Amino acid sequence: DQQVKQNSPSLSVQEGRISILNCDYTNSMFDYFLWYKKYPAEGPTFLISISSIKDKNEDGRFTVFLNKSAKHLSLHIVPSQPGDSAVYFCAGHNAGNMLTFGGGTRLMVKP
């Protein structure tokens, strides 16, 4: 049972345009949702999170939107830069400090 799904394995966008990465979940008990970014040969690094009681959180070029009724969240990157090219994982957090990760989306930003 995949509690967190990222249905797009890859996404390609032009530099300067918006990147939208999507994530769906099934577990209503998640209290936070997080996005992690991973470069090749490195560990994932935390990017941005959102509480389950919010519908939007913004940090610079990165905004995460949460639609609880649809059990869907998305990460918007505006404007996209070549350095944003990486694999992005969404994750749900529950009590006990456990994270459940999606399969990841590889973002390629073309100059």
Partner 1 sequence: NAGVTQTPKFRILKIGQSMTLQCTQDMNHNYMYWYRQDPGMGLKLIYYSVGAGITDKGEVPNGYNVSRSTTEDFPLRLELAAPSQTSVYFCASSPPLGTGELFFGEGSRLTVL
> Residues interacting with partner 1, by CB under 8 A?
4, 6, 9, 31-32, 34, 41-46, 49, 51, 89, 91, 93, 97-99, 101-104
64/52 Cα distance (integer angstroms):
12
In the complex, minimum distance from the CB of residue 9 to partner 1, in angstroms, rounded to a whole number: 6
Nearer to partner 1, 15 or 57 (CB): 57
Question: Least distance (Å) from partner 1 to the CB of residue 89?
Answer: 6
Contacts of residue 3, defined as CB under 8 A and 6 or more positions apart, other chains included, come to 25, 26, 27, 92, 100
**Which C-beta is closer to partner 1: that of 22 or that of 49?**
49
> Quick one: tokens of 9?
């394995």
What pairs with residue 74 in β-bridges?
22, 65
User: What are the backbone dihedrals phi and psi of residue 84, each rounded to the nearest 5 degrees, phi first?
Assistant: -80, -10
Nearer to partner 1, 96 or 111 (CB): 96
